[in-house]
Amino acid sequence: MARARERLSVRIVDAHVHLWDVDAFPIPWFRDGLGLPAVSSVAEYRRAAEPCGVDAAVAVQVADSVEEARWLTAATAADAVVRRAVLQYEPAAGKPLGATAFQGADLAGVRAAVPQRAADLSDVAGLDALADALGASGRVLELLLRPEQLEGAATLASRQPDTAIVLCHLGLGHGEPDEAWLSGLTAFAAQPNAYAKFSGLLSATRTDAALTELAGTAFRLFRAGRLMFGSDWPMSARTHSYADVVAATRRALPHPDSLDFWSGTATRLYG
């Protein structure tokens, strides 16, 4: 009971959740056997998250269709907790924010999910134009990368100093940290406009000690002012309850009750 009260004592802004409905729009990667629900709704998220002290969240688009983008922005516009949307980047001629950034959308940012691209990101069409447009409008650019692309992300951040660039899942996710990952993450974090989400890191095999080591590295490189919590719900729900994600994250942190980490950084970046 004491632990539950502790979880509720810190205001939480969850910077990384996913919503979808496979009957409403296509999700190319979705298939049976992934252990994921066909519908990931605002109501289900709130049932899981609100008892843990969450009072705001950012929903990140999982595919790249215009239908999904419209559905997601409508869902976040109508909810008092999942308040902001980050849309996926789909390059389109004459549209620097991509095909999903349709007119009038109230976006917190746009994510380029490009782990299949070149290590230096040179083959991501329009990436600098996207960063320019986002920075000019006060929005963030999110990156979903593999570790080998972290040096390329650092170079991008140095070219785009006026754009906040947010790394999803520490550029690692469920992968194993190594010297190459650490070198790339260090280069990225050295840019003052570089931020990271401590998200997508829990798995059935990652130990508390390993998570603690990752948290120590993240705080050392980014400090709490450029680091933020993300649950990666409902992806994380396959192995951990929402309460377990919050508790395991708090145990891992060198500063367990950092207001910047739990809410301040995300509030500043995503409004």
Which pLDDT belongs to residue 90?
81
Residue 206, CA atoms < 13 Å, CB-side half-sphere = 23
Three-state secondary-structure class, residue 165: strand
% residues pLDDT > 70 (the chain): 92
Which residues does 228 contact at the CB level (< 8 Å), separation at least 6? 13, 15, 195, 196, 197, 198, 260, 261, 265, 266, 269
Helix (H, G, I), strand (E, B) or coil at 151: helix
- pLDDT tens profile 177-235: 999 999 999 999 999 999 999 999 999 999 999 999 999 999 999 999 999 999 999 99
Over residues 9-16, the mean pLDDT reads 91
Picking from 52, 59, 29, the residue whose alpha carbon sits closest to that of residue 240 is: 52
> Do strands 165-167 and 227-229 pair parallel, antiparallel, or not at all (unpaired)?
unpaired
User: Which tens digits make up the pLDDT trace of 99-141?
Assistant: 665 555 678 999 999 999 999 999 998 999 999 989 998 999 9
Mean residue pLDDT across the chain: 92
| Pair 211, 244: CB distance under 8 Å | no
